[in-house]
Amino acid sequence: MSEVILSGIQKAFGDNLIVKGVDLQIRSGEFLVMLGPSGCGKTTLLRLIAGLEQIDEGELRINGRRMNEVPPRDRDVAMVFQSYALYPHMTVRENMAFGLTLRKMDKAEIARRVQEAAQLLELSDLLDRKPKQLSGGQRQRVAMGRAIVRQPSIFLFDEPLSNLDTALRVQMRGELARLHRRLKATMIYVTHDQVEAMTLATRVAVFNGGLLQQCGEPLELYHRPANRFVGGFLGSPSMNFVAASRTGATLSGQGFSLPAPADLDAEVRGDLLLGLRPQDLRIAPDGVFRGEVEAVERLGFDGFAFIRTEAGSIAARFDKGVDVKVGDRVAVAPVGDAVHVFTADGTKALRHPSLPSAPTTVEMAS
C-alpha cells in the first residue's frame, strides 16, 4: 500500500531519449495500467520504477521517500516479467521461495507463504516441477506467485499476459482482478492491449513516444480522450477522424457538412479535426457522410461497415437487422451530437459529446 510519484522522469539510451519527462502520481492501492503502443517506453518506465535502470532526470518517490538511488531490493517492489524469467534450474517451489530465502526468512514462514500463494494461484500440485515442465499459463502463474510471496507493497507487471492464448488471457485477467481485490496492493501494469487496460485498471495512463498523453479512469479516457492519440488508441474499430472547418454553425469538410454541436465554444473556429466513434454512427438515408461500402465485418449481433467517403474511410456500426453489402452506396450520420472535436493537429480535445443516458456498448477486440 504505497503511493508512487514520478516527477519529470527522463531516460535516454545513448543519444536516444526514450522517456521524455513523465509526471504521474500513482495512488496507494490502485491498479494503474500504463497503456501505449509498443516501443513507446512503457517497459523502460516500469524498469525505472523497479530500479533496474538508473533515472537520468527527475525524481521517483515511493511513500514520500526519494528512490532514485535506492537499489531495487530496498524499494519493496516485485516485478513480473513479460518473459516470466523463471529460474530454469529451480523447481516451482524454489522459484517462489528464492526471494524469501535470500532475505533469510524463517523456513516455516517461507513454506507457509509459498503454500498460500500456490493455493491462491492453483499451483499446489506443481510445486516440485521445473519451469520446463509447465504450460505457458502455469509459468505465468508461477511468475506471479514469485511476486506474491514477497508481499511487496507495489507490484509491477510488464505485459504479463501477452504470451498467452485468448482464453487463458481472459481467465488470467479475471484472476488478476481478484488478486488485486484480495491483496489491496498498489499494482502498476504495463500493456499495449486496451482491453486489459479497460477491464483491469482503476486508472489508465496512456503513453506515446515517451510522453504521458492522459491519465484517468478507463471510461473517462474512452469518452473524453484528451487528444487525437488517446481517442484513436482506445476503442475498436478506431475512432474515425475527419478534417473539417467551422463556419458559423456548421462544420464542413470534403463532401459533408453537419451542424456544429451547440456546446462547442464559439471561440473555436477555422480548421478542426472531428472524431467520430464507429459506434456513434448510424446508417441513415439522409446521412452526412456518403460513400461506397468497401468492407463489412459482421459480428453477429451487429457489425461494422467500412465506407469510402470523400472525407476518407469511415467505419460505422450497424445493427443486425440492417442489410449492408460491399459495393452498396450508403450514407451515415452521427447519433445525436456524438462528435469529438480536436484542434486540427489533434493535440488537444475541444469538445466531447455529452454522455448518453443509456450506456453505449463498448466494443473491443479481445
Ligand X SMILES: Nc1ncnc2c1ncn2[C@@H]1O[C@H](COP(=O)(O)OP(=O)(O)O)[C@@H](O)[C@H]1O
Q: Which residues bind another protein (CB under 8 A)?
A: 12, 14-15, 50-52, 54, 56, 72-73, 77-79, 81, 83, 85-89, 91, 98-99, 102-103, 129-130, 132-133, 146, 150
The residue among 43 and 309 lying less far from Mg ion, judged by its C-beta, is: 43
43 contributes a contact to Mg ion by CB under 5 A: yes
CB of 267 to Mg ion, least distance (A): 41
Question: Which listed range, 43-51, 69-77, 316-324, 348-356, lies at the site for Mg ion (CB under 5 A)?
Answer: 43-51
* Residue of this chain nearest to ligand X (CB atom): 43
Closest among 8, 24, 28, 348 to 180, alpha carbons compared? 28
Q: Does 87 bind ligand X (CB under 6 A)?
A: no
Give the CA angle between residues 280, 204, 154 to the nearest 5°. Answer: 160
Residue with smaller CB distance to Mg ion, 114 or 164: 164
**DSSP string covering 7-57, please?**
EEEEEEETTEEEEEEEEEEE-TT-EEEEE--TTSSHHHHHHHHHTSS--SE
- C-beta closer to ligand X: residue 43 or 138: 43
CB of 50 to Mg ion, least distance (A): 13
Task: Give least dist CB 73 to another protein, A.
Answer: 4
Binding mask 41-60 for ligand X (x = CB under 6 A): xxxx----------------
CA distances from residue 74 to 38, 77, 343 in whole angstroms, order as listed = 29, 8, 45
Pick what 268 binds: Mg ion, another protein, ligand X, none; C-beta below 5 to 8 Å, kind-dependent: none
Q: Is the dihedral of CA 61, 65, 67, 68 positive or negative?
A: positive
Q: How far is the CB of 134 from another protein (least distance, A)?
A: 11
Q: Measure the CA–CA gap between 88 and 133, rounded to whole angstroms.
A: 10
* Residue 48: closest CA among 40, 39, 60, 36: 60
Q: Which residues bind Mg ion (CB under 5 A)?
A: 43
Q: Which residues bind ligand X (CB under 6 A)?
A: 13, 18, 36, 38-44
